[in-house]
Structure 1
Amino acid sequence: MTDKYLMRVTAGTSYDLKDHVQVPINSSKTLKIGNEHMDIELNVRIQNYKGLPRNSPSTSPYFSAPPHDYNKDQYSIAFRFTPKKPTGSTKKTDDDVSEEEGISAVDLQFGNDFDHPIRDRLPPGFNTALNIVRWWIDPGLDGDAYADSPYLYGPALSSLNTIHVGAGEYDEGRGGLWFEEGGDETGMKERSEIGAPDDAKARMKWALKKESKDQWVWKYGQTYGVDFFNPYLDFSEFALRLPGFTLPIMKYWDGQGLRRSHTLRYVLRNKATGQVYLVILFTLYLKEDVNEDGSIKPHAFEAAKKASGHVANGAGSTNDGDEESFDEEKAIEEARRKLSGVGVGNEGTETSADDVD
C-alpha cells in the first residue's frame, strides 16, 4: 500500500499547514523556525526514506553511529530550542513555578494529537500496542485515543531520549545536530543541583516522579538540545514494530479506498497554557498528487491543509473479522518473552522505566 504514496515532512510553530516549511530529510542541513515563544533548529532523519524532497538521501550517517547502529533506530527528531520569556506576565502556574523563570517540566509536553476522532480507524490490537509502549518505552505517556480530539502526550522531561542542557554539537559526520545526555558546564551544574541523573535512562526514570518535574524548569533564554528516536516506528512501511508484535497502520488507516493523504503529527506544547511551540507533520500523499518538481498539486494540498493531523469522523471502521482473529493474550506473552532477557518485570511500569530505549 505504501508504494502508492510519497512522504513529505513539514514543520512549523502552529498546526496550520500553510505556515509550515518542508524539512530536508537525512540532510545535515538544519531547519530554523521560531516565533515570539521559542527559537528552534531541527533535523529529521528516517531510515530507508523514499519521500520528498525528491532525491533525498535514503539514510543518514546518524544511523551508523552508536548507539543508533546497535539500537537499529528507524527515525530521529532532533532539535535545539530556546524558550523566550513572555512579555507582561508574572502569573504563577499551579505547580508554583514563576513564568518569569521558565516553563515547568510538568507543563512541557511532547507527543501526538489529532483534531478529529480516530476511534473508527484504530486497528485491532491498538490497546495492546499502547500497553506495550507504556510498559516498555514510555511509562509517562498519557492520553485518550478514543476521544473526539485524541492525544497521546508525555512530559518532555521523561519522553525525550536525550536531553542536553546547552547548545550541544553540530557534527556533519554524524548527520547534523548531535546531542549527548548531560549538558555544557553550566548545564551540568544545574542538573546536579536538582539531582537529575547524567545517564539518559536514569533521567527518564527520575523524571517520572512528581517531585523531579517540580524541580526541573525549562528556563527562558537557555538553549536545550533534545533527540527523540526509536526502532519501533517503520516509516518505510508505516508500521509500528514492537517486541513480539507488529501493527500495520496503513492497512486499517486506508479503509475501503485510497485517501489522498494521511498525516502523523508530533507536537511540543505547553499543557498549562495550550501554547504550541513546534508541530512536525509526516504526511503521505498519493504519488499522482505530487508534481515532478516535488510540489503538491493544489487540490491535494488544500485537502491536506483542511485535515492536517486529522482522520475524518465516521470515515470507516475496523474489519470485524480481523478484530476477532487478533489474539491479545498471545501478543502480550510474546512481547514478555522477547523482553524477558533484558530484565523487564511482569508488572512493567517501575522495571521498564529502567530500560527505556
Structure 2
Amino acid sequence: MAADKYILRITAGSDYDPSTHVQVPVNQPSPVAISGPHAAIQLNVRVQNYAGLPPNSPATSPYFAAEPHATNQDQYSIAFRFTPTTRRQAPGAAGISGTDLQFGNDFDRPIRDRLPPGFNTALRIVKWWIDPGLDGDAYADRPHLYGPALSSFNVLEMGEGAHDPARGGLWFDEGAGPDDEARKRLKMPATGKARMKWALADANKEQFLFEYGKTYGFDFFNPYLDFANLALRLPGFQLSIANYWDGQALRSSNNRRLHQLRTTGDVYLVVVFSLFLRKDLNEDGTLKEGAQQLTAGGAADATATKPAGGEEHSHDHDEEAAMKQARDKFGVPPYETSADDVD
C-alpha cells in the first residue's frame, strides 16, 4: 500500500494514558508544555516533508536548514527542555542517576511476527554505530529498545538553551550554558559525539546526576527515518514501512519515551507516533467516529497475517555486504579502539 494512503499523527504526554495526551503541532516553533508528577517539559517535534496531522501543518522547519542538520540531511527531531522534580518518596535524593534515566522506543503490540528479513542486521547497525547503549527485546509482547539518555541524545545542554524561531524553536548547544565547570569536573566532553561515547562507560554514567529543579536541553535527530515516504534508510539496510504495513486496518503506534527504568519506573515523557488510514479521517482532519476503537481492536488479528519471510519479503538479505557498507559509511564502532585513541 502506498505511503500516501496513511497519515501520521504525533501526540505526547507525561504517561501512557492517551486521554491525557495532546496533539503536537509539528514544525511549529512554539513548544508544547507537558507537566507531570515527576517533571516539567517543553517539547518541539520537527519532521522534514511533513504531511500529517494537524491539518495544514508546515511541511518543514527552519531547523533543517540550520547546521549541522542541513549537512546531515536530518529527517526529524525530538527536542525538549527537561526539568525533573523532587520525588516525595525520596525527599533526600538530589536527582536522577545518569545510569537510570533511559530513552527509547516501545510499541503497543507485538511485532515479532512481522519483522522483515534483515531486521537483526539493521538492529546491529544501530547498536554498533548509531546508539551503542541501546538494549531491549524486539520480540517481546511489548517490544522495547531503551538506552541511557546520556549516550542516546545527539545534543545535551545543561541549561535551558534558547528559543529561536529562526531555527525552528527550541535550540540547544552541547557544552554551552552554565555547564562548563560540571563537565570539567566529570571529565565529560563538550561535544555531542564524544559525550555519547564517554557515556558508554558505566563509571561515567554513575557519576552523572540529573539534578532535581535544574533544566536540561535534549535533542534527538537523525537522517535515517523518512516519515514522508514511510521508509527506514540505513547504510546497508532499507525498509519500506508502507509495504510493511500493507493491508493492515489498524492504528500502529510507536512510542518514544523518557523514563527512570532501573529504579522507580517513573515515566517523564511519552511521544506517540501513530499511523492512520486517510479514509478514517473527516475533512477537517479529525478521526471519524469509532475509527480509534475499530483500529485498536484490530491489532491482535493483524499480527497474525502476512508473517515475516512471506512472499513479499522473500528477497535474499546479504548481512556481510550490509555490515561492510555500514562500516564504510560510519568507520570504527565507538566501542572499538581506533588509531585516534592510541597515544
The aligned counterpart of 1:150 is 143
Residue 349 of structure 1, CA deviation: 3.5
Identity value in percent = 54
Q: 1:268 to 1:304 in 2, by over 3 A?
A: farther
Out of 214, 219, 230, the position equivalent to 2:222 is: 230
The aligned counterpart of 2:80 is 79
The 3-state SS of whatever aligns with 1:298 is coil
Give, in whole Å, the separation in 1 of the partners of 2:39 and 2:325. 43
Q: 1:68 to 1:128 in 2, by over 3 A?
A: same
Give, in whole Å, the separation in 2 of the partners of 1:61 and 1:145. 34
Give, in whole Å, the separation in 2 of the partners of 1:210 and 1:2. 41
The aligned counterpart of 1:248 is 240
Matched, 1:199 2:191: yes
Matched, 1:216 2:208: yes
- Mean Cα displacement is larger for which, 297-306 or 62-71? 297-306
Matched, 1:320 2:310: yes
Q: Answer whether contact 2:251 2:296 (CA < 8 A) is retained.
A: no
Q: Cα deviation per residue 1:64-102 (whole Å; 9 max; x = unaligned)?
A: 001000010000000001000011425xxxxxxxx6111
Provide TM-score, normalisation by structure 2: 0.92
Matched, 1:330 2:317: no
The aligned counterpart of 2:336 is 350
Give, in whole Å, the separation in 2 of the partners of 1:287 and 1:351. 49
Q: CA RMSD, aligned part only?
A: 2.1
The aligned counterpart of 1:93 is none
Q: Answer whether contact 2:225 2:233 (CA < 8 A) is retained.
A: yes
- Mean Cα displacement is larger for which, 267-276 or 243-252? 243-252
- Mean Cα displacement is larger for which, 198-207 or 259-268? 259-268
The aligned counterpart of 2:19 is 18
The 3-state SS of whatever aligns with 1:208 is coil
Q: 1:258 to 1:306 in 2, by over 3 A?
A: closer
Which consecutive unaligned segments of at least 5 residues does structure 2 have? Answer: none
Q: Cα deviation per residue 1:302-335 (whole Å; 9 max; x = unaligned)?
A: 3466689x99653441133434522222222232
Letter aligned with residue 138 of structure 2: A
The aligned counterpart of 2:231 is 239
Give, in whole Å, the separation in 1 of the partners of 2:128 and 2:238. 16
Q: Answer whether contact 1:121 1:253 (CA < 8 A) is retained.
A: no
Residue 141 of structure 1, CA deviation: 0.7
Give, in whole Å, the separation in 1 of the partners of 2:211 and 2:147. 19
Residue 232 of structure 1, CA deviation: 0.6
- Mean Cα displacement is larger for which, 140-149 or 158-167? 140-149
Out of 285, 288, 294, the position equivalent to 1:294 is: 285
Q: Cα deviation per residue 1:183-208 (whole Å; 9 max; x = unaligned)?
A: 422x2222221111111111001000
The 3-state SS of whatever aligns with 2:308 is coil
Residue 118 of structure 1, CA deviation: 1.0
Out of 152, 160, 167, the position equivalent to 1:167 is: 160
Give, in whole Å, the separation in 1 of the partners of 2:108 and 2:250. 18
Aligned residues: 336
The aligned counterpart of 2:173 is 180
Letter aligned with residue 169 of structure 2: G
The aligned counterpart of 2:102 is 109
Residue 153 of structure 1, CA deviation: 0.5
Q: Cα deviation per residue 1:224-254 (whole Å; 9 max; x = unaligned)?
A: 0110000011111221111132122232233
Letter aligned with residue 205 of structure 1: K
